[in-house]
Amino acid sequence: MDFDDLVRRRRMVRDYDPDRPVPPEVLDRLLDYAIRAPSAGFSQGWGFLVLTEPADRDAFWAATTEPGELPDSWLTGMRHAPAIVVAHSNKDAYLDRYAAPDKGWVDRDEARWPVPYWHIDTGFASLLVLLGAVDAGLGACFFGIPPAHTATYRAAFDVPPQYTPIGAISLGYPAPDRRSPSLRRGRRPADEVVHRGRWGRR
Ligand SMILES: Cc1cc2nc3c(=O)[nH]c(=O)nc-3n(C[C@H](O)[C@H](O)[C@H](O)COP(=O)(O)O)c2cc1C
């Protein structure tokens, strides 16, 4: 697909055809895109948990929602997704990488980091999955795991402590869904967010 079309067509999809799995080779391709994301110092401090078995997906939703919670329309649609990829970042991988002789930050001081590159890089990788999904004719949605459910999520899937789930990506063939109410805010025009030469100069 033409890159311009791909970017313009991408949107978060929150309901899926539950009877149409994501072909394994397509899922593998999306994960291959993910690991081609840029990363600071080529640290590649990410990890992806792929859930396609119904029991695993059920365990994911059980761990990340309130017990006994009646599914609202968001959850009902999202639970139809035949695949979930949870993206994790590993801060230690960055602190270790930058303590290596060619970088030399042997004190592992986090104050050296302008922003948490470990989360940024995993976000870049996630975006490649989202864009790859559009190219493959799939729908996808990046969504957060609420902090109150992180511990139960980790325990359910044996996620090591150094890995932080930065978000999950539901994947599947799209079903008609409701537009997110957030979209009523409208897209901020380039004129408002782009500054040329000096902040405030359009
Ligand atoms: C970091 C991040 C967290 C998000 N969390 C959620 C979420 O928890 N639930 C959800 O339905 N959408 C979530 N979204 C999707 C946004 O609502 C969506 O990207 C935004 O409304 C713009 O819509 P579009 O991506 O369809 O263009 C998230 C997006 C990002 C980038």
Tokens representing 132 are 């790859």
Question: 64 near 153, Cβ under 8 Å?
Answer: yes
pLDDT band at 69, cuts 50/70/90?
Answer: confident
3-state secondary structure of 48: strand
| 144 Cα nearest atom in ligand 1 | 8
Q: Is the pLDDT of residue 105 over 90?
A: yes
Residue 88 pairs with which residues in a beta bridge?
Answer: 47, 165
Ligand 1: distance of its center to the CA of 10 in Å?
Answer: 12
Ligand 1, atom 3, residue with closest C-alpha:
143
Tell me the pLDDT tens digit for each residue of 119-163: 999 999 999 999 999 999 999 999 999 999 999 999 999 999 999
Q: Tens digit of pLDDT for each residue in 152-195? A: 999 999 999 999 999 999 999 999 988 889 999 999 999 999 99
Count other C-beta atoms under 10 Å from residue 81's C-beta. Answer: 30
User: Which residue has the least CA distance to atom 12 on ligand 1?
Assistant: 143
Q: For residue 183, which atom of ligand 1 is closest to its CA?
A: 21
- Gap between the Cα atoms of 176 and 156, Å rounded: 31
Question: Under a CB-based contact definition with an 8 Å cutoff, are residues 168 and 79 in contact?
Answer: no
Task: Quote the pLDDT of residue 11.
Answer: 97
CA gyration radius, the chain: 19
Around ligand 1, the residues with Cβ closer than 6 Å are 11-12, 14, 141-144, 167, 180, 182-183
Ligand 1 atom having least distance to the Cα of 166: 1
Tell the residue number behind the tokens 């901020």, with chain if given: 188
What does the pLDDT look like over 3-59, one tens digit per residue? Answer: 999 999 999 999 999 999 999 999 999 999 999 999 999 999 999 999 999 999 999
Atom of ligand 1 nearest to the CA of 11: 26
**143: β partners:** 168
Whole-prediction pTM value? Answer: 0.97
